[in-house]
Amino acid sequence: MTQSTPHVASTPVAVSFEFFPPKTAEMEQKLWQVIERLAPLGPRFVSVTYGAGGSTRERTHATVRRIRHETALEPAAHLTCVGASRDEIDEVVRDYWAAGIRHLVALRGDPPAGASRYEPHPGGYAYAADLVEGIRRIADFEISVAAYPETHPEATSAEADLDNLKRKIDAGATRAITQYFFEADTFLRFRDRARKAGITVPIVPGIMPVTNFGQIVKFSAACGATVPASLARAFEGLDDDPETRRMVAATVAVDLVRKLEAEGVADFHFYTVNRAELTVAICHMLGVRAPLGALPSAPALAV
């Protein structure tokens, strides 16, 4: 290759999809339609988030198990340190292993509703790095952890946050999945800093297709993601125009993933918000496609 040859992504792109556990039978039915639609794209894994509180957690366990038993997909169960003792968490981990689950996403978790700041459970795992260590002691799971291109809001500095990511990897995590971001440079700069810090595991960008701009603004303020002015301009005036909004959302996200792909990024994690259409469109543009005839018919997926 000569120096003047432009970069062409040569590695096939791999994708993964994140879902949240459905609250009602209707939502569950919709999630299964989404899973049916996304499964033919051959994701490396699909993950299911974990909330605070008993019934929410039961829904995560049930969804993960159903994916394990009823599909050929590899499920990854999110697990947090919030509101449980080490023994309780260890039992969940053992149950997952016994049920054939081999991939966990190990997180500290956010404070439960009503609590203003995170307090480790007495006798619990305090931070995600401790949880990773605990899981490693139990069984040989694949373990993914969270990473923050714009720094976790509670971190004392960007360096301290990167040290924390390194601790999670050193404790046995095999992949970092990032918080979402909207500018490719944000991710690329973070990836450079992580590599310099000696983090060699895959750092997978978390891609959030924007379905509801107002919600994204609120959520981004809480999780520390910057919403660029260009994004606000792109969605301006579209509150009552869902069709155009979806097209804009696809364009914005395709632009982001294409920039990342041109920089050699070959793994993408999609925050699907339990919807299929935008993720399918973005994957299609990345060359991640279902074999011909494998897609369920579109009308079943209309939103």
**Nearer Cβ to ligand FAD (151/212):** 151
Task: Considering only the stretches 48-56, 93-101, 259-267, 272-280, report the one whose residues sit in contact with ligand FAD under the rule CB under 6 A.
Answer: 48-56
The rounded distance, in Å, linking the Cα atoms of 214 and 237 is 12
- Is residue 154 a contact point for ligand FAD (CB under 6 A)? yes
193-216 burial: b if 16+ Cβ within 10 Å, else e: ebeeeebebebbbbbbbbbebeeb
Rule CB under 6 A: choose which of 93, 101, 107, 280 binds ligand FAD: 107
| Distance, CA of 116 to chain centre | 24
In the complex, minimum distance from the CB of residue 205 to ligand FAD, in angstroms, rounded to a whole number: 10
Told to judge if 18 belongs to the known catalytic residues of this protein, a careful annotator would answer yes
- Is residue 80 a contact point for ligand FAD (CB under 6 A)? yes
Residues numbered 251 to 290 that lie near ligand FAD (CB under 6 A) are: none
Is the four-CA dihedral 50, 53, 56, 59 of positive or negative sign?
positive
In the complex, minimum distance from the CB of residue 171 to ligand FAD, in angstroms, rounded to a whole number: 10
Task: Considering only the stretches 127-135, 185-193, 233-241, 276-284, report the one whose residues sit in contact with ligand FAD under the rule CB under 6 A.
Answer: 127-135
Applying CB under 6 A, the site for ligand FAD has a residue count of 24
- Is residue 159 a contact point for ligand FAD (CB under 6 A)? no
- Is residue 77 a contact point for ligand FAD (CB under 6 A)? no
Do 81 and 89 contact (CB within 8 A), yes or no? yes
The rounded distance, in Å, linking the Cα atoms of 183 and 43 is 24
**Nearer Cβ to ligand FAD (129/252):** 129
Task: Considering only the stretches 107-115, 195-203, 250-258, 277-285, report the one whose residues sit in contact with ligand FAD under the rule CB under 6 A.
Answer: 107-115
- Is residue 160 a contact point for ligand FAD (CB under 6 A)? yes
- Is residue 109 a contact point for ligand FAD (CB under 6 A)? yes
- Is residue 108 a contact point for ligand FAD (CB under 6 A)? yes
**Nearer Cβ to ligand FAD (164/248):** 164
The rounded distance, in Å, linking the Cα atoms of 215 and 212 is 6
Residues numbered 163 to 182 that lie near ligand FAD (CB under 6 A) are: 164, 168, 177, 179
Q: What mask, x for binding ligand FAD by CB under 6 A, covers residues 205 to 224?
A: -x------------------
Active site residues: 18
The footprint of ligand FAD (CB under 6 A) covers 49-51, 78, 80, 105, 107-110, 127-129, 146, 152, 154-155, 160-161, 164, 168, 177, 179, 206
